């Protein structure tokens, strides 16, 4: 009985030792750090890997996450420089760079960051007017990030980025903004319509101008072609008249040549003149000029008549 009891006690002691040894072995996962205290005082910071701690006297005081974390705080009421009240919802991106400072620097780091964010946001917005607040998000984000990063540095926290998630103005101010935006849209629409009508009128005027220019050019070309055609017709007509006159002159010259070759007598020429005078007195002329040689022509006719009578007898 005493031997069995000794074995049982030994078994219990071995089990206790194994349990204590197992509890003293710690494995720190990636992106985490363990704060180790010995007898209530800070001893060391464990990084990723296998670690051993002494039982009873050593303990893991805090597990710290080293990854970047995101905290979305509730909307905070703020007042702008021109006394406009609104609520702003902020998002803070931070990362723990010193686990020891994070563990011992402040009691509740997340609550501290939230309160610090609210006070910093009020200070930054209080320097801006309402319209500037709506259009200067990047400036607000930059100022808040710099201020929060400096304030949280003693806590082992680095603020990487601060974003204004939402800006919520009061209902009355929101209605006024919507009316203003509607009026602005209507104004822009009117401007666009006016510019469209202006461009349309300009295009129509330019089209008419080009049409008139083309018509004038066409009329000019037509007049030039008509003038050239008339000129050519006149030239051809003149050439035709010249050819006709030339032909008449050639005919006259040919007749004169024939007359000269025939050597007509004086009586024949006088008789030809009498025929020409008879043609001039066909009743169409209103005035008749009788040449002084008409007596000679009459005598010639009388002589010819007498000679003819004598031949007949």
Could you read off the pLDDT of 103-141 as tens digits, one per residue? 998 888 889 999 999 999 999 988 888 888 888 888 899
Report the distance separating Cα 6 and Cα 88, nearest Å: 72
Per-residue pLDDT band at 261 (split at 50, 70, 90): low
Report the distance separating Cα 274 and Cα 288, nearest Å: 14
Q: Cβ distance 51 to 73 under 8 Å?
A: no
Q: Cβ distance 79 to 126 under 8 Å?
A: yes
Highest mean pLDDT (candidates 12-16, 220-224, 295-299): 220-224
Query: Which pLDDT value is given to residue 69?
Result: 92
Query: Which pLDDT value is given to residue 2?
Result: 58
Q: What is the mean pLDDT of residues 56-65?
A: 88
**How many C-beta atoms lie closer than 10 Å to residue 294's C-beta?**
12
The yes-or-no verdict on residue 282 having pLDDT over 60 is no
| Alpha carbon 242 to its chain's center | 71
Query: Which pLDDT value is given to residue 232?
Result: 84
Query: Which pLDDT value is given to residue 296?
Result: 55
pLDDT in tens, 134-173: 888 888 999 999 999 999 999 999 999 999 888 888 777 7
More confident residue, 19 or 35: 35
Q: How many alpha carbons fall within 13 Å on the CB side of residue 80?
A: 20
Per-residue pLDDT band at 255 (split at 50, 70, 90): low
pTM beyond 0.85: the answer is: no
Query: Which pLDDT value is given to residue 94?
Result: 93
Tell me which residue of 19, 107, 95, 102 sits closest to 63, measured CA to CA: 102
Residue listed under structure tokens 């680095």? 158
The yes-or-no verdict on residue 72 having pLDDT over 50 is yes
**What is the percent of the chain where pLDDT is above 90?**
13
Report the distance separating Cα 46 and Cα 102, nearest Å: 14
The yes-or-no verdict on residue 85 having pLDDT over 90 is no
The yes-or-no verdict on residue 53 having pLDDT over 70 is yes
Q: What is the mean pLDDT of residues 14-22?
A: 77
Query: Which pLDDT value is given to residue 159?
Result: 92
Q: What is the mean pLDDT of residues 85-100?
A: 91
The yes-or-no verdict on residue 285 having pLDDT over 60 is no
Query: Which pLDDT value is given to residue 244?
Result: 79
The yes-or-no verdict on residue 59 having pLDDT over 70 is yes
Q: Cβ distance 16 to 45 under 8 Å?
A: no
Average pLDDT, the chain: 79
Residue 76 backbone zone (phi > 0: left; psi -120 to 50: alpha; other: beta): beta
């Amino acid at each position: 009985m005493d031997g069995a009891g000794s074995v049982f006690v030994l078994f219990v002691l071995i089990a206790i030792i194994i349990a204590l040894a197992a509890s003293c072995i710690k494995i720190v996962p990636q992106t985490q750090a363990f704060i180790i205290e010995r007898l209530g005082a800070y001893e060391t910071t464990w990084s990723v890997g296998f670690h051993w701690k002494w039982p009873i006297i050593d303990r893991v005081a805090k597990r710290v996450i080293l990854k970047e974390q995101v905290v979305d705080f509730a909307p905070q009421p703020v007042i702008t420089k021109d006394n406009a009240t609104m609520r702003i919802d902020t998002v803070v991106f931070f990362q723990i760079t010193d686990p020891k400072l994070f563990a011992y620097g402040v009691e509740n780091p997340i609550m501290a960051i939230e309160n610090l964010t609210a006070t910093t946001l009020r200070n930054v917005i209080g320097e801006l007017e309402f319209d500037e607040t709506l259009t200067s998000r990047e400036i607000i984000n930059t100022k808040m990030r710099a201020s929060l990063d400096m304030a949280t540095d003693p806590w082992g926290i680095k603020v990487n980025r601060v974003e204004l998630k939402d800006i919520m103005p009061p209902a009355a101010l929101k209605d006024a903004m919507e009316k203003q935006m509607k009026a602005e849209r209507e104004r822009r629409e009117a401007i666009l319509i006016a510019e469209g009508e202006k461009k349309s009128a300009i295009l129509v005027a330019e089209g008419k101008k080009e049409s008139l220019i083309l018509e004038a050019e066409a009329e000019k070309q037509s007049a030039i072609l008509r003038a050239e055609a008339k000129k050519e017709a006149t030239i051809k007509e003149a050439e035709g008249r010249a050819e006709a006159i030339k032909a008449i002159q050639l005919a006259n010259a040919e007749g004169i040549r024939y007359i000269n070759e025939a050597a007509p007598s004086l009586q024949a020429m006088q008789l030809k003149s009498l025929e020409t005078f008879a043609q001039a007195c066909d009743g169409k002329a209103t005035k008749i000029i009788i040449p002084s040689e008409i007596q000679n022509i009459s005598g010639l006719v009388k002589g010819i008549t007498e000679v003819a009578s004598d031949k007949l007898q």
